[in-house]
Amino acid sequence: MGMALISLDGTFLKLNSALCDLLGYDETELTTPSPTVRTLLDQIHKFNSLGSSLPSTSTDPQRLEVDYFHPTGRRLSLKVSISILLDDNGQPIYYFTQFENKTLIREMETQLQVVNSHLLEKESSFLQLLEELPQPVLITRGGIVLYANSAGLQLIHAESLDQVLGLSTMDIVDYSNYEILSERRKKFNTDRTTGSVCYLINCLNNQQKYVDGITLPIIYEGNEAFIGIFKDISEQVLEDERLIQSEKLSTAGQLAAGIAHEIRNPLTAINGFMKLLRSSERMNDKYISIIESELKRIEFIVNELLVLSKPQTTHISKPVDLLSLLEQVTTLMNGQAALKNLKILPVCTDHSIWINGEAYQLKQVFINLLKNAMEAMNHGGNIYIHVQTYDREARISVQDEGCGMTEEQINALGKPFYTTKETGTGLGYMITQNIIHNHGGAISVESILEQGTTFTVSIPTIITPEEPIM
């Protein structure tokens, strides 16, 4: 540390070699100081004459920071502590000064300031960018909203940022989606991945919307946070539901002819037995039970048709007996098949197979596959339904002897509105695929032109349920 005694009029009286090194001059040079040293001394002197208003007995060091130009041209930042030495009468005699080189620290501080202001600048231009983004953006930390851009405010129908700040994601995401939310949090905690999201949300005006988006971890205002960029897909979801409904109605319409045919047979039987009953003297139990069973059959078919054309709003998974489901579907489709001179031949195992799912949706899958099979066969023939189980999976194949498909047709399968039929909707297969995926299954296709096509659905099975539903 550089030290010196300085006279009250501001000249060096005594100094150590560390100070000589610091200032860049030797001791003799410093007794007749260069202009820069002179300036330094003047600053100290001036500081002290200002400080002399302090009680002159004060021996506490005063601190001063000065810039000093070293003879090599470098600009140094010096910290000077000055104490006043007093004589026996308490009169100041000279200053005792200590010099510390603070240049490095000061330089680092300035650099830090520059970096900091760059960061602030970056953060503010980042926020500006977010503000102008047409997509809704929310930033959250610990599930609490810290920021929303104007598109974000619009999305949840907030009038101002105040209404949104501090809200919890649990206030925004619908109760029915809490599980998705907590799964995502768990997943992030284990493998640090976020990925895409799809939620049903509750807006501030109580409207519900479907949103799709991605979230990413970011540093926001110095701490870890999450940024979510969203898209309102409510229209799309509604449109999908409308499409499914139109396809359902068209299926129902197309099945109507077959169903009329299917109902005609029991009706003919009922008619016949009614005539017999009328002509016989006594009630005939056998006739009556035949009539009853035929009526049940009609009731079943009409009910199925109604269910098929009704929008399905509740989605509840239950254990479903696959074989009886297939039987119900074939019953429904037999009429249509007979009209086209086709036979549906189920080849099933004799034990029951249970899967977890929504019966009506699963029926829709097989109705769609059978309908396509029948539409591919214009000269009669057979449609085989094979059911096999492997490990924990059931495989159901629907095999037709129809026109088959080209490579191009196979590739286009599942694209909405792709159809080669004059009255087709091109939605059946897409819906089929969706339902199967929602049930954790898969579907594959094999086809030979002019020979036929086989669709194979594989779906996870469950152990026989305690409470059989159907």
Which of Mg ion, ligand ADP, none is residue 10 near (CB under 5 to 8 Å by kind)?
A: none
CA distance 12 to 27: 9
CB-nearer residue toward Mg ion: 335 or 428: 428
The single residue among 139, 373, 396, 435 that binds ligand ADP, judged by CB under 6 A, is: 373
Phi, psi at residue 354, to the nearest 5°?
-110, 135
CA distance 15 to 114: 37
H/E element, 230 = strand 223-232
Using the rule CB under 6 A, is 413 a contact of ligand ADP?
yes
CA distance 308 to 323: 19
Q: For residues 248 and 361, is the Cβ–Cβ distance under 8 A?
A: no
DSSP per position, 270-292: HHHHHHHHHHSSS--HHHHHHHH
CB-nearer residue toward ligand ADP: 25 or 429: 429
Q: For residues 188 and 206, is the Cβ–Cβ distance under 8 A?
A: no
Distances (CA, A) of 264 to 291, 295, 308, 314: 13, 11, 20, 33
Residue for token pair 């100041």: 92
Q: For residues 124 and 38, is the Cβ–Cβ distance under 8 A?
A: no
DSSP per position, 388-452: EEETTEEEEEEE--S----HHHHHHTTSTT---STT--S-HHHHHHHHHHHTT-EEEEEEETTTE
CB-nearer residue toward Mg ion: 364 or 372: 372
Beta bridge partners of 201: 173, 209
Distance separating the N- and C-terminal Cα atoms of the chain: 93
The single residue among 262, 304, 358, 400 that binds ligand ADP, judged by CB under 6 A, is: 400
Which among 63-71, 225-233, 257-265, 365-373 is the span making contact with ligand ADP, rule CB under 6 A?
Answer: 365-373
CB of 377 to ligand ADP, least distance (A): 8
Q: Which residue is nearest to Mg ion (CB)?
A: 428
Q: For residues 157 and 205, is the Cβ–Cβ distance under 8 A?
A: yes
CB-nearer residue toward Mg ion: 357 or 428: 428
The SS3 call for residue 41 is helix
The single residue among 202, 409, 456, 461 that binds ligand ADP, judged by CB under 6 A, is: 409
- Name the token pair of 356: 């977890």
Using the rule CB under 6 A, is 135 a contact of ligand ADP?
no
- Name the token pair of 82: 């000055």
Which of ligand ADP, Mg ion, none is residue 433 near (CB under 5 to 8 Å by kind)?
A: none
CB-nearer residue toward Mg ion: 330 or 368: 368
Which of Mg ion, ligand ADP, none is residue 361 near (CB under 5 to 8 Å by kind)?
A: none
The single residue among 376, 443, 457, 459 that binds ligand ADP, judged by CB under 6 A, is: 376
Which among 86-94, 163-171, 285-293, 366-374 is the span making contact with ligand ADP, rule CB under 6 A?
Answer: 366-374
Using the rule CB under 6 A, is 435 a contact of ligand ADP?
no
Which of Mg ion, ligand ADP, none is residue 335 near (CB under 5 to 8 Å by kind)?
A: none
The single residue among 68, 425, 457, 458 that binds ligand ADP, judged by CB under 6 A, is: 425
Which among 48-56, 116-124, 210-218, 396-404 is the span making contact with ligand ADP, rule CB under 6 A?
Answer: 396-404
Beta bridge partners of 225: 218
CB of 242 to Mg ion, least distance (A): 18
The single residue among 267, 426, 446, 460 that binds ligand ADP, judged by CB under 6 A, is: 426
What's CA 113's distance to the chain center, in Å?
A: 38
User: Strands 137-141 and 144-148, how do they pair?
Assistant: antiparallel
CA distance 43 to 65: 10
Which among 26-34, 162-170, 307-315, 413-421 is the span making contact with ligand ADP, rule CB under 6 A?
Answer: 413-421
Using the rule CB under 6 A, is 364 a contact of ligand ADP?
no
CB of 470 to ligand ADP, least distance (A): 26
Number of residues that bind ligand ADP (CB under 6 A): 22
H/E element, 102 = none
The single residue among 402, 436, 441, 458 that binds ligand ADP, judged by CB under 6 A, is: 402
Rg (CA), the chain: 44
> Closest Cα partner for 33 from 44, 25, 43?
25
CB-nearer residue toward ligand ADP: 172 or 383: 383
CB-nearer residue toward Mg ion: 323 or 403: 403
Which of ligand ADP, Mg ion, none is residue 419 near (CB under 5 to 8 Å by kind)?
A: ligand ADP
The residue type found at 456 is T
Applying CB under 5 A, the residues found at the interface with Mg ion are 372, 428
The single residue among 139, 332, 362, 403 that binds ligand ADP, judged by CB under 6 A, is: 403
Using the rule CB under 6 A, is 152 a contact of ligand ADP?
no
CB-nearer residue toward Mg ion: 167 or 431: 431
CB of 365 to ligand ADP, least distance (A): 11
Q: Which residues bind ligand ADP (CB under 6 A)?
A: 368, 372-373, 376, 400, 402-403, 405, 409, 413, 418-421, 424-430, 453
